[in-house]
Amino acid sequence: MRRVLIIPRNDGIAISMDELKEVVVVEMDAEQMLNMAQRCQQAGLEMLRKEKAEQLLVSNPSGESL
């Protein structure tokens, strides 16, 4: 499994991967950073919805109302 570390900074993001021998800095302006943050938040919310739905199926496999 690959490991990736993404570090937000005030000038963009720093990225470190197992395969890299150094940290790469990707410069971004404020709008780019906020757009990326919004996409990350949307993806996290979708993951949370999916996990909650899966938990409901596990706890109530018949699909009946609780």
31-51 burial, b at 16+ Cβ within 10 Å, e below that, comes to: eebeebeeeeeeeeeeeeeee
- For the full predicted model, state whether its pTM sits above 0.75: no
52 in Cβ contact with 41 (< 8 Å): no
Nearest residue to 36 (alpha-carbon basis) of 6, 4, 3: 6
55-65 burial, b at 16+ Cβ within 10 Å, e below that, comes to: eeeeeeeeeee
Q: What is the pLDDT of residue 59?
A: 84
**Tens digit of pLDDT for each residue in 6-47?**
999 999 999 999 888 889 999 999 999 999 999 999 999 999
